[in-house]
């Protein structure tokens, strides 16, 4: 991966963006793409849209959600302890004892506390911890003191810096889906600098908001942009760790390229273009099956207006929605190349109607 891209990843991972509070990361994304894109705008929801060839008749939408799961302070007690709700789905068991940042008047350091193991009843050690048993301790001794720096409604994020493991593996918080945002930013840069996009094909690369609470940003953006085709690039749950059961959920390995999803959320023509692009350019990828609705922005984009031909690409990620997500940088690079190649293969008259190319699409799928 390019040095600049890795530095951008480090920067956006260190920048808080729980759903509804994405502005700090949105600013960084705008600054990264502004030298390359023909146009960069921000809509009323907070989505950032960077466009190459804005006047083109064929519009490709790229959705990489820039929000992350987090917490929000909903009560401060008389002793200065903060009580909180989740923003999106987090694993409560992984939050206990973590350092957090409360984004109030200042970015205040705190820790997620609960009663000590020495005071456990028998039932405490057998029950899954619940949010109601936890609080945030910022070291304040009264509500008044706490309220000098934080207040109800402030977002909270886990404090955990990106670090390099062995090889090209890295660990960090909120890779879901800052990685999708990084890939989008690099796609804009690469298509602008290296070319290959048809002049009558426009690419709208979005950092979408509020995906973790129901893909709300992608929904309104798809309506505004009215794309004919779209890709959602998000993180996929890796199934390559001890005692993973691929028999139940399929297999997805770190370091073997992105997952390309097959299922109702994937248009057969889009799927055919993605898989043939990967094979022709020798970009590694893994086939994935999605039986129901895709848990990505593709779900709502596909249903926008009269329907959009969508595809879903997943970067394999271990320990998703925990403070220590793990991924392989090679998968990011492969995804950047795959998305660029997909965009270069779209023509102004590409027909995404499944009926027109079902036979061809099936042939393309056969290995």
To the nearest whole angstrom, how small is the minimum distance from the Cβ of residue 212 to Zn ion? 7
Q: Which is nearer to Zn ion, 146 or 327 (CB)?
A: 327
> How do beta strands 107-113 and 135-137 pair?
antiparallel
Cis check for the bond before 321: say yes or no (omega within 30 of 0): no
CA 364 to chain centre: 28
Is 337 labeled as catalytic in the residue annotation? no
To the nearest whole angstrom, how small is the minimum distance from the Cβ of residue 347 to Zn ion? 30
Q: Give the torsion sign (CA, 77, 80, 84, 90).
A: negative
To the nearest whole angstrom, how small is the minimum distance from the Cβ of residue 281 to Zn ion? 26
The span of 141-149, 153-161, 226-234, 251-259 binding Zn ion (CB under 5 A) equals 226-234
Q: Which is nearer to Zn ion, 68 or 95 (CB)?
A: 68
To the nearest whole angstrom, how small is the minimum distance from the Cβ of residue 110 to Zn ion? 25
**Cross-strand pairs, 313:** 233, 260
By beta-carbon distance, which residue lies closest to Zn ion?
177
Cα separation of 84 and 76, whole Å? 9
Q: Which is nearer to Zn ion, 111 or 239 (CB)?
A: 239
How many chain residues bind Zn ion (CB under 5 A)? 3
Q: Fill in the per-residue mask, 158 to 187: x = in contact with Zn ion (CB under 5 A), - = not in contact.
A: ------------------xx----------
Question: Tokens at residue 31, please?
Answer: 């600054």
| Active-site residue (options: 211, 212, 325, 341) | 211
The span of 72-80, 232-240, 246-254, 344-352 binding Zn ion (CB under 5 A) equals 232-240
Q: Which is nearer to Zn ion, 95 or 211 (CB)?
A: 211
Q: Which is nearer to Zn ion, 25 or 138 (CB)?
A: 25
Q: Which is nearer to Zn ion, 108 or 238 (CB)?
A: 238
To the nearest whole angstrom, how small is the minimum distance from the Cβ of residue 327 to Zn ion? 12
Question: Tokens at residue 103, please?
Answer: 């984004």
**C-alpha angle with apex 128: 123 to 132, nearest 5 degrees?**
95
To the nearest whole angstrom, how small is the minimum distance from the Cβ of residue 25 to Zn ion? 14
H-state helical runs in 195-293: 216-225, 246-249, 268-280
> How do beta strands 169-172 and 325-328 pair?
antiparallel
**Residue 340 CB contacts under 8 Å (≥ 6 apart), including other chains:** 187, 190, 191, 194, 196
Name residues contacting Zn ion, limited to 51-90 (CB under 5 A): none
The span of 31-39, 66-74, 125-133, 234-242 binding Zn ion (CB under 5 A) equals 234-242
234 touches Zn ion by CB under 5 A: yes
DSSP assignments along 72-135, one per residue: EEEEE-TTS-EEEEEES---GGGTTT-EEEEESSSEEEEEEE---GGG--HHHHHSPP-GGG-E
CA 210 to chain centre: 10
The residues carrying an active-site annotation are 211
| Interface positions with Zn ion (CB under 5 A) | 176-177, 234
């Amino acid at each position: 991966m390019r040095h600049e891209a890795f530095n951008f990843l480090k920067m956006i991972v260190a920048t808080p963006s729980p759903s509804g509070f994405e502005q700090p990361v949105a600013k960084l994304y705008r600054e990264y793409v502004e030298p390359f894109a023909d146009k960069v705008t921000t809509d009323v929801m907070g989505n950032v849209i960077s466009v190459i060839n804005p006047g083109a008749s064929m519009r490709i939408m790229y959705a990489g959600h820039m929000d992350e799961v987090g917490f929000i302070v909903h009560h401060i007690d008389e002793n200065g302890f903060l009580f909180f709700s989740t923003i999106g789905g987090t694993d409560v068991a992984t939050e206990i004892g973590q350092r957090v940042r409360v984004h109030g008047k200042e970015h205040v350091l705190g820790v997620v506390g609960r009663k000590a193991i020495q005071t456990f009843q028998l039932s405490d050690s057998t029950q899954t911890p619940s949010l109601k048993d936890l609080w945030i301790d910022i070291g304040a001794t009264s509500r008044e003191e706490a309220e000098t720096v934080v207040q109800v409604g402030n977002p909270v994020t886990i404090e955990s810096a990106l670090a390099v493991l062995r090889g090209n593996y890295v660990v960090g918080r909120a890779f879901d889906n800052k990685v999708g945002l990084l890939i989008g930013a690099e796609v804009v840069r690469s298509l602008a600098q290296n070319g290959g996009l048809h002049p009558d094909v426009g690419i709208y690369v979005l950092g979408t908001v509020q995906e973790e609470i129901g893909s709300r940003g992608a929904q309104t953006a798809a309506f505004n942009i009215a794309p004919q085709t779209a890709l959602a690039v998000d993180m996929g749950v890796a199934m390559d760790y001890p005692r993973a059961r691929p028999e139940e959920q399929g297999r997805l390995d770190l370091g073997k390229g992105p997952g390309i999803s097959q299922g109702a959320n994937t248009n057969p023509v889009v799927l055919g273009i993605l898989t043939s692009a990967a094979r022709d350019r020798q970009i590694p990828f893994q086939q994935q099956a999605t039986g129901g609705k895709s848990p990505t922005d593709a779900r709502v984009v596909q249903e926008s207006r009269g329907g959009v031909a969508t595809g879903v690409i997943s970067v394999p990620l271990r320990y998703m929605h925990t403070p220590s997500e793990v991924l392989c940088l090679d998968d990011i690079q492969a995804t950047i190349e795959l998305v660029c190649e997909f965009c270069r293969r779209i023509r102004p008259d590409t027909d995404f109607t499944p009926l027109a190319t079902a036979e061809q699409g099936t042939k393309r799928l056969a290995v």
